[in-house]
Chains A and B, each alone.
Chain A
Amino acid sequence: MVAYDSSDRSKDKTDQKTLRRLAQNREAARKSRLRKKAYVQQLESSRLKLTQLEQELQRARQQGIFISSSGDQAHSAGGNGAMTFDVEYARWLEEQNRQINELRSAVTAHAGDGELRIIVDGIMAHYDEIFRLKSNAAKNDVFHLLSGMWKTPAERCFMWLGGFRPSELLKLLVNQLEPLTEQQLTGIGNLQQSSQQAEDALSQGMEALQQSLAETLCSGSLGSSGSSGNVANYMGQMAMAMGKLGTLDGFIRQADNLRQQTLQQMNRLLTTRQSARALLAIHDYFSRLRALSSLWLARPRE
């Protein structure tokens, strides 16, 4: 017979306490797991919703709708710089629409040359503004500009070096500007040829850059003795490639310079009234491209 004394009883109590504690722990752990599961499920569905919203935002932006964005700038592709430029560009477009409407009203109302001149000069100055904005943006994120994601899809399709092709624009205008004097015809013809030649030159430089970059990234990855040689090689290659990428913004800048100079020369060659018609025609063309993009994005699909 085992003696049952106080120490046994207290040991019993201790065991019961321990058992109760263990049971409570298990229960707490179970509840904690359930809470965590619920929390993770909530996170997952929020993440899905966020992705959907981002896609809608992207689609809306592509359609040329101005979306004001507050906070969360880190989420846009390319980060802060890209978002800022997109916002600036949207504002620029709004202002251009306003100025063009003003010009259209003036032309329709048969306004005098003096009044037209003021509005035309304003629009030309406004074009200077977008080239300035693009130049700044090129320093921060040249790839965003080159991608054309800040334009609508149809505009993007016909893009050259981050913007419109000046020679193409002139081709569109020539028929709409008649009657032109002999001198004007010669001037416009020369301008078309010059812009085409400059475009070709810049395109060739870009091709040379691409080729040079490709060569840098392909060269001598094999055959070095030892891994330290390979690492040094790799880093050297990357450094060189980085240097070459750094020259990209120079090309965008010169392409924009060409666009700006072409517009200004065109303005010089034409009378005030002709310049007004030209600016309206240019705006209408891009407006229609943007509208086309919207229609395309909204088209019914199977």
Chain B
Amino acid sequence: MDRVKDLASAKAAVIFTKSSCCMCHSIKSLFYELGASPAIHELDREVSGREMEWALRGLGCNPSVPAVFIGGRFIGSAKDVISYHVDGSLKQMLIDARAIWF
């Protein structure tokens, strides 16, 4: 959990993924399209990947990846990101966290 928290606070936009997860690819694409440069952490490439996945599930992230953090705050998984994007709040969150400028 600490590792998750540390990594999540290290950058304005942080996404936890797995290298084989194609939905993660979608969410990453969306962030790049918006001009954000999120930090990507692949759980299957992390030493404590299993504990981190467990911690993410504990936060309520289901499925565990992709897990999105903006400004250190847990936003949700793919479903949440899409919902926030449609109602315009995703962009605002990214602007507030200074991940993007407009």
Contact = CB atoms under 8 A, between A and B. Distances in A.
Bin the interface of chain A by size.
20 to 34
A265 B82 CA distance: 12
A204 B32 CA distance: 12
Q: Is the interface of A mostly helix, strand, loop or mixed?
A: helix
Nearest to B32: A201
A265 B29 contact: no
B30 interface: yes
B86 A194 contact: yes
B63 to A, nearest CB: 8
Residue of B25, B34, B82, B86 most packed against chain A (CB within 10 A):
B86
A205 B88 contact: no
A128 to B, nearest CB: 14
A200 B23 contact: no
Given A197-B34, A201-B30, A265 B25 contact: no
22 contacts: A191-B86, A194-B85, A197-B33, A197-B34, A197-B85, A201-B33, A204-B25, A204-B26, A205-B22, A205-B23, A205-B24, A205-B29, A206-B22, A244-B22, A251-B22, A254-B23, A254-B26, A257-B83, A258-B82, A261-B82, A265-B86, A265-B87
A254 B82 contact: yes
Contacts of B20: 212, 243-244
A198 B25 contact: no
A258 B27 CA distance: 13
Residue of B26, B27, B30, B87 most packed against chain A (CB within 10 A):
B26
Contacts of B99: none
Contacts of A191: 86
Contacts of B33: 197, 200-201
Contacts of B78: 250, 254
Bin the interface of chain B by size.
20 to 34
Interface of B: 20-27, 29-30, 33-34, 63, 78-79, 82-83, 85-88
Nearest 5 interchain pairs by C-beta: A205-B26, A201-B30, A261-B86, A209-B22, A201-B29
Contacts of A201: 26-27, 29-30, 33
Given A204-B25, A204-B29, A209-B22, A198 B85 contact: yes
Q: Is the interface of B mostly helix, strand, loop or mixed?
A: helix
Residue of A204, A205, A244, A250 most packed against chain B (CB within 10 A):
A205
Contacts of A244: 20, 22
Given A198-B30, A201-B30, A208 B25 contact: yes
A247 B86 contact: no
Contact of B86 (A200, A250, A253, A262): A262
A294 interface: no
Nearest to B21: A247
Contact of A257 (B21, B25, B79): B79
Interface in A161-196: 190-191, 194-195
